[in-house]
């Protein structure tokens, strides 16, 4: 595990795939699911299948952030990066902003991504977690310039797709919902899928649905779901405040996150 990686210049062109995983005391959270998605993403990009047998075991003292006491409880993330050669790994502290958004929620704006869910080109990599992340970063910076924390992308047909680095999850009439990845041509969210699989255990039904902005506004609660934030509740949508949902701490607990840190 290194803080720096030696790469060929050709490795810098975003032509690879990655996963970001929450490091927990018992190991990387949902590791198997993330590795399976890494393999799928590589196939979508047309890269050779990654050799996962080279990965370290990710147990106990293996997982240390350089410069941080291994015994400390600094929240940490595991990055797995693959550009066609060796699989790289890196462990980094989780940025404070991520922990704050999990605790306090996010102010979100919505915007037309300018792409059609019905006209994804045959070579589209929109359902892969690729390293070509500049548009995602640019979208988040734009959201911040508008006074928001994050954004939700909509297709030209008017359906919600995803956030630049998260899935959209909402609660409506006792149903916990997310966007169907295949139909929308978006990345299959691992945190969202795991949450929906646990919904019955807290008395909720689970469903995948295409959703319009009006339907989203009318939902009981909206969250952005991702590996490190877990769930960040949408506390403001397009400038309109939304009440905190009593479900947010319950669902965070269900996902194994401390509800208050």
Residues that bind its own copies (CB under 8 A): 3-9, 11-16, 18, 44-46, 79, 81, 83, 88, 90, 92, 111-116, 119-125, 128, 130-135, 137-139, 141-142, 156
According to DSSP, the β-strands at 87-93 and 150-154 are: unpaired
CB of 246 to its own copies, least distance (A): 34
Q: Which is nearer to its own copies, 96 or 241 (CB)?
A: 96
Nearer Cβ to its own copies (161/177): 161
C-beta of residue 162 within 8 angstroms of C-beta of residue 170:
no
Closest contact distance (angstroms) between CB of 119 and its own copies is 4
Burial of 84: CB neighbours in 10 Å, binned 0-12, 13-18, 19+: middle
Residue 92 CB, nearest approach to its own copies (Å):
7
Q: How far is the CB of 103 from its own copies (least distance, A)?
A: 24
Q: Which of 219, 234, 31, 240 is nearest to 149 (CA)?
A: 234
Here the tokens at position 151 are 């954004």
H or E element at residue 253 = helix 247-254
Cα distances from 70 to residues 14, 62, 66, in angstroms, run: 31, 9, 9
Q: Which is nearer to its own copies, 67 or 114 (CB)?
A: 114
Whole-angstrom distance, CA of residue 82 vs CA of residue 121: 24
Q: How far is the CB of 89 from its own copies (least distance, A)?
A: 9
With respect to its own copies, which residue has the nearer C-beta, 36 or 92? 92
Closer to its own copies at the Cβ: 141 or 244?
Answer: 141
In this structure, how many other beta carbons lie within 10 angstroms of the beta carbon of residue 245? 20
- Could you tell me the smallest distance in angstroms from the CB atom of residue 112 to its own copies? 6
For residue 122, the Cα-to-chain-centroid distance in whole angstroms is: 24
Indicate the residue among 62 and 104 with the shorter CB distance to its own copies. 62
């Amino acid at each position: 595990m290194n803080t720096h990686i030696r790469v060929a210049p050709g490795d810098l062109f975003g032509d690879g795939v990655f996963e970001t995983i929450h490091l927990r005391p018992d190991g990387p959270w949902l590791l198997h699911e993330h590795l399976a998605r890494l393999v799928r993403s590589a196939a979508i990009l047309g890269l050779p299948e990654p050799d996962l047998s080279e990965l370290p075991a990710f147990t106990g003292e293996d997982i240390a952030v350089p410069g941080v006491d291994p015994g400390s409880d600094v929240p940490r993330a595991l990055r797995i990066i693959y550009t066609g050669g060796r699989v790289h790994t890196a462990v980094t502290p989780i940025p404070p902003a991520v922990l704050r958004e999990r605790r306090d929620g996010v102010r979100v704006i919505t915007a037309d991504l300018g792409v059609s869910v019905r006209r994804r080109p045959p070579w589209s990599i929109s359902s892969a977690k690729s390293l070509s992340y500049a548009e995602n970063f640019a979208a988040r910076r734009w959201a911040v310039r508008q006074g928001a924390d994050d954004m939700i992308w909509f297709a030209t047909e008017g359906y919600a797709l995803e956030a630049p680095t998260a899935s959209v999850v909402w609660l409506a009439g006792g149903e916990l919902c997310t966007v169907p990845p295949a139909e929308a041509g978006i990345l299959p969210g691992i945190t969202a899928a795991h949450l929906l699989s646990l919904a019955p255990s807290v008395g909720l039904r689970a469903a995948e649905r295409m959703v319009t902005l009006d339907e989203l506004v009318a939902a009981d609660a909206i969250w952005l779901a991702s590996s490190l934030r877990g769930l960040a509740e949408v506390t403001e949508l397009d400038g309109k405040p939304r009440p905190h949902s009593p479900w947010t701490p319950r669902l965070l607990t269900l996902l194994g996150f401390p509800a208050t840190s």
